[in-house]
Structure 1
Amino acid sequence: MRWEGNRESENVEDHRGDGGGGGGGFGFGGRSIGIGTIVLALLGGWVFGVNPLTILGLLSGGGGPVQVSEQQQPRPRAEADDREYKLMKVVLADTEDVWQELFRRNGGNYQMPKLNVFTGRIQTACGQGASATGPFYCPGDREIYIDLDFFRLMERRFNAPGEFAQAYVVAHEVGHHVQNLMGLSDKVHNAQRNASERQANALSVRLELQADCFAGVWAHHANRARNIIEQGDVEAALAAATAIGDDALQRQAGGQVVPDSFTHGSSAQRVRWFKRGIDSGEISQCNTFEARQL
């Protein structure tokens, strides 16, 4: 990915070393939206011997906040972290440029989110966030949260390395911010309150796939404007989308694939909607809520 020397966003804050890397627990009293929700379920099952589907049910609102005891030791900041932090600033700036222009074309005003890089845990308007949750967006404060260790998880456990794959993760969370600005997040969450668990999961899948599509829309316009995509980059993003599909994660957890429990979409669906966004560059092509087939 070609990104060095490009503009860096001023809306990134470094909270690493703020004292959140110790032990303790986490629990979300509000609702956060993130690419790592099902990753948390997988790792929770692997580390704590809990059925991943049980954790997914709790995270989707079926049982209140999840409390997990963690013991983490602070680690020295690696040189790779500093490069990745710089990448986060450049990618966020790139999303700002793209979405500001797209909103302007449609008569809107894009309000830029803040991205927080942290280790261990951090307080948010959605409750206390933790590294184990993976990257997430909190609608309550319109901010994105990410622990850079998630990229090591992508590389080593999910075989999805590469800077463009990391950029895809950020662009997906920015996609949730776009949904929030458009009022889509509130509509989905309101509908989920009166829905069955199966219906609520299905709505969550459509929300997540649209965020994948929006990530593709960003990549389309960023590449046209700044030629950021190198050979192999799109494949890296598709590998990341494949690795974190609900079906792939359930298989890796050693469990049965249960489509009704999906909250983010299958690998094939995530790939399909990201490709739809990057191929078209059109927001209108990302209407997952009216799509007959995902």
Structure 2
Amino acid sequence: MNKWLRRSLIAVVTLIVIGAAGLALGAYLGDRKTQRHVDVTVSAVAVPSDAASLERGRYLFSSRGCAECHGANGAGREFINDGKSMSVKSPNISTGPGSVVAAYSTVDWVRTLRHGVKPNGQPVFIMPSEDYNRLTDADVGALIAYAKQLAAATGNGLVAKVPALVKTLYAAGLIQDAAEKIDHRLASAAPVPAAVSAEHGAYVANMCIGCHGAHLSGGKVPGGPPDWPPAANLTPGDGSVMARYTNGDQFVAMLRSGKRPDGSAINTAMPFASLGALNDVDAQALYLHLKALPPVAVGNR
């Protein structure tokens, strides 16, 4: 082996070793970050028991992503599996064996839902609590009430297989958990009358933040599986998909079917089980809000 080739080989092997060591350190730091303590001030909400509130809670559970991740029975389900290096099975939030919420007080539920922080002060790692932070007190209470009356089902805690690179990016702050994204100082959201209006649509659109970003301009979903496509730009800015939908009925049909107006299928990374559960008022209001947004270029999340 000539001297140049030998030196090149040594350099390549050295880079590989350094890269592997860096990822190992990054994964370690990422794991440590999930165990940090996050101080938040939490206020309890009223948890109702009347039929109308429980029905509201059922609707929110089905349409705002809870069933999408935890399953309709709350027992937990695998909702990410790229067949390679990443898989996530959500925890059991029913009252059955293996439940992670068995000892939750009302404040514990609020802390997790609104702030992305578990009762022990550690952040939730995958749950998009930023989507629920702006729910009104009444909706938080209704959601808790419904979850607490789910039938007992067997499950366990979070089971997550996360690549070392994702953990490294998380440790570096390039991927954030919900507790980092949320402004914990904000007061509870004021109720908005449910109507086909852009104002109510803004309330519904909170469910889109986790994937499409706070500005709803989309781009690569931080921490998502590598095969997930970039989230669409929902604003009228450059790269927007909203030009496809010239009226609210086309938009609602897409939410129900998972297909664009031209009949082409949208990637199933979109949570169509939840989106399809939106009632007509929420879906039409969401359309009006997205159409009224200021333009933001795609990827400026």
Decide: shared fold, TM above 0.5: no
Larger Rg: 2
Q: Which has the higher helix share?
A: 1
Q: TM-score, normalised by structure 1?
A: 0.32
